[in-house]
Amino acid sequence: MSEPAPERTMAVGPRSTATPSGDVPGQVRTFLYRDGLRERETDTVQEAHREVAADPGLMVWVEMKAPNSTQLTELARTFGLPALALEDTIVAHQRPKAETYGDVLYLVLRPAEYDEVYERIGIGEVHLFASENVAVTIGHTEHIDLENVRQRVESEPRILRQGTLAVVHGVLDAVVDAYAPAVSALQQDIDELETQVFDGDPQATGRVYRLTREVILLQRAVDPLGPVLQELMASPEHSGPDRPDRPRTHGPDPDRVLLHHHMRDVADHVTAAREHVDGFRQLLEDIMSVNNSLIDQDRNEAMKKISSWGGILVVPALIASFYGMNNAPEDAVHWVFSWPVTLVIMVLSAVALYGVFRRYDWL
């Protein structure tokens, strides 16, 4: 049987989100910024494009929520976004990655949310385009509020003055911060699972498999972010004449260094999340191994008890079967004490075997 298409494979998991296949348009908002401060909101992306083309000192931030393919195609045509990246955005279900197309940086991020009631990881998807003065954030998820992200970025004009890479940092920071509650909740459930296993709960085995599946889903979202952050942190400036394949930063050098420090902080959080998730995977494997050992131990104890009782009953059964034969010796059968002696021997043999098995902890 052939493997499913890669973009469908990435969609595996509870409550994964996808780009709408219908013609229902999503929400689109467009904002203009100058020197880290918001000037105004425009009515259409075409209007924002005309403003930026006429005034290079402006930066535009297009915020889209669950757009349809028509809106995405119009956006790409207006701002000249790369066709291959647009195709990935329409199909969705991509692994986290960072790609450059000329002076356009394209990011795919996968925010996560953990449902503690059903013990499920919900995986969303955020796409981001960043060029010199155009930033586009596209949300295919309910697990992160891009409007709140924008408001938080706007509250730090010194960072936003750096241009579109400040938007990249803001979205990355929000996505990575959302992993912390999921990691914490998983840790709590795994701790409960350990207690459940050692208490001999028969439901523990199924829970181990369920939590392992959720950890794998979270791992697929977190692990690829390491190379993404390494690429973005190649130099304190993130871009420059020697790196024409990246969006340029603006503002004075101290602000560039500050942005770099913020990126390093995000990278540290990613590293911590990756270490926790990788540790969860190994811990669950160890728990499964211990659980299987305990199950085997219980089965061995049961088999020892069954074998012991079988051994206790076999001697009386042999004696009874001997006396039940049709060709039994005449004298032994008619002796007045034959049956009492036989019963005493049967009882004594059973008691003796019971004592032996008790002594060796088989019963």
Spatial distance between the Cα atoms of 332 and 355, rounded to a whole number of angstroms: 30
Sign of CA dihedral 176, 180, 186, 190: positive
pLDDT at 297 over 90: no
Spatial distance between the Cα atoms of 75 and 54, rounded to a whole number of angstroms: 18
Q: What is the pLDDT of residues 243-261, one digit of tens each?
A: 544 555 444 455 567 777 8
Q: Are 59 and 133 in contact (CB under 8 A)?
A: yes
At 244 the pLDDT is 47
Per DSSP, the residues of 162-195 read T-HHHHHHHHHHHHHHHHHHHHHHHHHHHHHHHH
pLDDT at 326 over 60: no
Q: Are 97 and 228 in contact (CB under 8 A)?
A: yes
Q: What is the pLDDT of residues 37-92, one digit of tens each?
A: 999 999 999 999 999 999 989 999 999 998 888 899 999 999 999 988 888 888 77
Q: What is the pLDDT of residues 270-282, one digit of tens each?
A: 999 999 999 999 9
Mean per-residue pLDDT over the chain, rounded: 81
pLDDT at 335 over 70: no
Q: Are 316 and 350 in contact (CB under 8 A)?
A: yes
Q: In this predicted model, which residue has the larger pLDDT, 330 or 193?
A: 193
Spatial distance between the Cα atoms of 23 and 48, rounded to a whole number of angstroms: 24
Distances (CA, A) of 184 to 39, 82, 162, 190: 39, 38, 33, 10
Quick one: pLDDT band at residue 24, thresholds 50, 70, 90? confident
At 328 the pLDDT is 54
As a 3-state breakdown, the chain gives helix, strand, coil percent values, each rounded to 5, of 55, 15, 30
Q: In this predicted model, which residue has the larger pLDDT, 212 or 299?
A: 212
Quick one: pLDDT band at residue 264, thresholds 50, 70, 90? confident
- Percent share of the chain, pLDDT over 90: 37
At 60 the pLDDT is 95
At 8 the pLDDT is 34
Region of poorest pLDDT, from 30-44, 119-133, 191-205, 232-246: 232-246
Section 335-361 average pLDDT: 78
At 95 the pLDDT is 87
